[in-house]
């Protein structure tokens, strides 16, 4: 699926969204402008109900992001050290122009076909965006290796005393990028990762460039589908090495244990809104390969009644267990203590809600977060820590996951 040439639209429009959909019949969503917007700087009571009402009120396609700190309203938690980036905890909007397209078809979902921006958007879809090598920057780790090892040792202590049995520990990379760098950075990130849940979101000065390989939650035809990732290894330099690395990941007792722990957590989350006895694991610990890594992915599904609205579903499942650990609430409390800055939108989700109430949300990982006013650029990388975790291997896995991010900016 080619990347449309949105450079001009990103410069002229305040709101732009491009979502890739990894279905067998691959297509993309493109949204330009904002007819109406729902924006919350911080969590507050009723925020998820407001999102549900917003998505229903227009009978239209809406897009946006859910920040990790929505957890504070869902579970009555706190974030003592907020993210320095300043992204809203929730940003959702209805584009003035919405288009769904593939390499072989184009469908206008909303907007005036005679609007000059519609004409420009349709033309941009025909052109493949070129990777621009004009951006210069640098992403640097905020933690030293010793800092990560110290935090990991504390996680292991928490596991030994029974507070958690898995915790997702993340560390940030920070840098700067010019105010007009967001789209070129996304284009470069997409070329390096070819990630199935890639996305670009621009809401005023707040930008998200996502190379996510992971689905959080999809609702379609009365079914909920979640596909957590736990277990990652690099791609090989030869077909033989590549196959051997994938086999080693599939056979790893540690990685399978991590994956199964999160599968159990997701099953429990889904059971809170699922129809009775409908939760099932339809795929356990399968290996999926993307451009840069092999990953272990499981699929959990359930049936859901029409009475269960978006707000109730998100209260049961957000944030995703693959980015917290288990038990979820205890893990989130310790994450806030161990990680020196709040995650902001990282570990949250971006996606769409359709006019019928169906939706598809990714997991906001392997992503860049940009404030075009302050020119601050941040990414976060982490992994699940269990009793079997080896500090050096976990540290190297973080660097593996960050490789495409660093290459996107540091070149």
The yes-or-no answer on residue 42 being catalytic is: no
Q: What share of the chain is helix, strand, coil (3-state, %, to 5)?
A: 35, 30, 35
Which neighbouring-strand residues pair with 19?
A: 29, 199
The closest of 339, 228, 207 to 281, measured between CA atoms, is: 228
Q: How many residues does the chain have?
A: 411
Cβ atoms of 91 and 207 closer than 8 Å? no
- Alpha-carbon separation of residue 184 from 78, 91, 101, 129, 345 (angstroms): 35, 22, 21, 9, 20
For residue 200, give the 3-state DSSP assignment: strand
What 3-state DSSP class applies to 8?
helix
SS (H, E, C) 220-264: ECCEEEEECEEEEEECCCCHHHHHHHHHHHHHCHHHHHHHHHHHH
Residue 27, CB-side half-sphere exposure with 13 Å CA sphere: 12
d(CA 88, CA 42): 7
Tokens of 259: 């994956």
C-alpha distances in angstroms, 152 versus 87, 303, 316, 343? 28, 38, 28, 18
Active site includes 218? no
> Is the distance from CB of 143 to CB of 174 less than 8 angstroms?
no
Question: Is the previous residue joined to 171 through a cis bond, with omega within 30 degrees of 0?
Answer: no
Which is the catalytic residue, given 218, 219, 230, 328?
230
Instruction: Choose, from 13, 73, 214, 339, the residue flagged as catalytic.
Output: 214
Q: Can you tell me whether residue 26 is helix, strand or coil? A: coil
Dist. CA 259–CA 287, nearest whole Å:
12
Is residue 296 within 8 Å of 229, Cβ to Cβ?
Answer: yes
Reduced to 3 states, what is the DSSP secondary structure of residue 174? Answer: strand
Catalytic residues: 214, 230
């Amino acid at each position: 699926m080619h990347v449309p040439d949105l450079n001009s639209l990103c410069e002229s429009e305040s709101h732009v969204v491009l979502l890739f959909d990894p279905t067998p019949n691959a297509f993309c969503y493109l949204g330009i402008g904002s007819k109406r917007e729902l924006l919350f700087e911080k969590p507050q009571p009723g925020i998820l109900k407001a999102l549900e009402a917003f998505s229903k009120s227009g009978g239209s396609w809406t897009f946006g992001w859910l920040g990790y700190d929505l957890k504070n309203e869902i579970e009555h938690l706190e974030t003592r050290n907020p993210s320095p980036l300043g992204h809203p905890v929730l940003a959702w909007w209805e584009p003035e122009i919405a288009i769904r397209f593939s390499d072989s078809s184009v469908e206008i979902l909303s907007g005036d076909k005679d609007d000059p921006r519609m004409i420009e958007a349709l033309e941009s879809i025909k052109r493949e965006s070129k990777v621009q090598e004009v951006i210069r920057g640098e992403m640097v780790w905020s933690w030293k290796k010793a800092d990560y090892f110290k935090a990991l040792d504390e996680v292991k202590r928490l596991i030994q005393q029974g507070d958690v049995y898995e915790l997702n520990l993340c560390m940030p990379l920070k840098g700067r990028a010019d105010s007009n760098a967001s789209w070129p950075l996304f284009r470069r990130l997409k070329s390096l990762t070819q990630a199935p849940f890639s996305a670009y979101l621009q809401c005023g000065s707040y930008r998200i460039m996502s190379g996510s390989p992971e689905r959080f939650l999809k609702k379609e035809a009365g079914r909920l589908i979640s596909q957590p990732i736990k277990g990652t290894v690099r791609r090989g330099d030869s077909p033989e090495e590549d196959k051997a690395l994938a086999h080693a990941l599939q056979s790893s007792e540690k990685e399978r244990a991590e994956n199964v722990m999160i599968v159990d957590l997701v099953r429990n989350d889904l059971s809170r809104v699922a129809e009775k006895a409908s939760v099932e694991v339809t795929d356990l610990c399968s290996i999926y390969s993307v451009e840069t890594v092999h990953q272990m992915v499981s699929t959990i599904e359930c049936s859901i009644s029409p009475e269960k609205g978006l707000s109730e579903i998100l209260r049961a499942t957000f944030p995703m267990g693959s980015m917290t650990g288990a038990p979820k609430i205890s893990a989130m409390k310790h994450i806030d203590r161990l990680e020196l800055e709040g995650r902001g939108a990282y570990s949250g989700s971006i996606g769409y809600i359709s006019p019928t109430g169906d939706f598809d949300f990714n997991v906001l990982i392997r992503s860049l977060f940009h404030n075009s006013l302050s020119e601050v650029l941040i990414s976060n990388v982490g992994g699940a820590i269990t009793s079997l975790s080896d500090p050096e291997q976990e540290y190297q896995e973080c660097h593996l996951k960050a490789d495409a991010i660093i290459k996107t900016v540091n070149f």
